[in-house]
Amino acid sequence: MAKSIDVSDLNIYYGDFLAVEDVTIPIAAKSVTAFIGPSGCGKSTFLRSLNRMHEVIRGARVEGKVLIDGQDLYGSDMDPVNVRRMIGMVFQRPNPFPTMSIYDNVLAGQKLNSKRMKKAESDDIVERSLRSAGLWAEVKDRLDRPGSGLSGGQQQRLCIARAISVEPEVLLMDEPCSALDPISTSVIEDLIHELKTQYTIVIVTHNMQQAARVSDETAFFNLSGVGKPGRLIEVGRTETIFSNPQDPATEAYIQGRFG
C-alpha cells in the first residue's frame, strides 16, 4: 500500500493538440501533493493521466514515463483497467451511483474485482471504509438508503469511502471540495490529513489556502497563453513555495495577482 510516483518528461496530447508539456515530478509515498495553477493550465489533465482516466476522451495519448514504484503505467503490458484499480480517484462533483444504496456504493469497487465475499466480510469492509471516510456515524442506521439522498459533503465522503474500500496505492482528488460548503470542506481536509498516513494523495485545487493547509508538497502549473500547452513551473515543499517561490510567476499567482 502507498507507493511513490515518478513522472519524467511527460507530454499529454489530445489528438494533435499538446495539452501539457514536459512534466517531470517526483511524488513521495504517504505524502500529500497539491497541484495549483490558473484554469486551463493542465493540472487536471495531468492528474487524470496518473490513472489513465484522460484516455476516456478520444484521441488522448501521452509521451514519457509514469512510474509507480518503478512500474511503468504506460508499459505495453499495462491494462488501464488494472491501473485504475490500483489508483483511486475522487471527482470534482460528488458522483455516488444513484441507483445503489450507500452500502452497495462502498462495495462497488470490490464487486468489480469480482471477489466472492461473505456477508460478514463485506459488512466489515463497508464499516472500515466509512469510518476512514468519517461518514460511519452519520449513515450507519441507513446503509440501505440510496446514496443520492445524502448531502453534498456526505456524498463526497461516500465517494472517498468507495475509492479507499479497495485499498488503492494512490488516491487522486480532482478539486474534491470545489462543489462543497466550508464546513464540509474542512471535514474533508481533516480527512486528507488522516488518510495520508496510509495513502499517497495527489490533490488538484483552485484554492491556494487549501493547498497550504493540506499539502506537504506543492506543484505550480501555468500556461504562457491561450492555446499554448500547460507546463509545470516549479515544485517543492509547500512552505517554500508559499514563502519563497523561485519563479516570479509562482509568486504572482500565490499573491493573487492573476488566475
User: How far, CA to CA in Å, does 140 sit from each of 54, 56, 122?
Assistant: 35, 35, 14
Choice between 109 and 245, CB closer to other proteins? 109
Residue 222 CB neighbour total at 10 angstroms:
23
| Shortest distance (Å) from residue 106 CB to other proteins | 11
| Shortest distance (Å) from residue 128 CB to other proteins | 17
Choice between 76 and 113, CB closer to other proteins? 113
Closest residue by Cα to residue 233 from 196, 201, 200, 259: 259
| Shortest distance (Å) from residue 244 CB to other proteins | 36
> Under the rule (CB under 8 A), what is the footprint of other proteins?
51, 53, 56, 81-86, 88-89, 91, 93, 95-101, 108-109, 112-113, 145-146, 148-149, 159, 162-163, 166
Choice between 188 and 212, CB closer to other proteins? 188
| Shortest distance (Å) from residue 221 CB to other proteins | 21
| Shortest distance (Å) from residue 228 CB to other proteins | 27
CA atoms of 90 and 53, how far apart (whole Å): 12
Choice between 101 and 186, CB closer to other proteins? 101
Choice between 161 and 235, CB closer to other proteins? 161
| Shortest distance (Å) from residue 71 CB to other proteins | 16
Choice between 51 and 185, CB closer to other proteins? 51
Closest residue by Cα to residue 87 from 206, 202, 244: 202
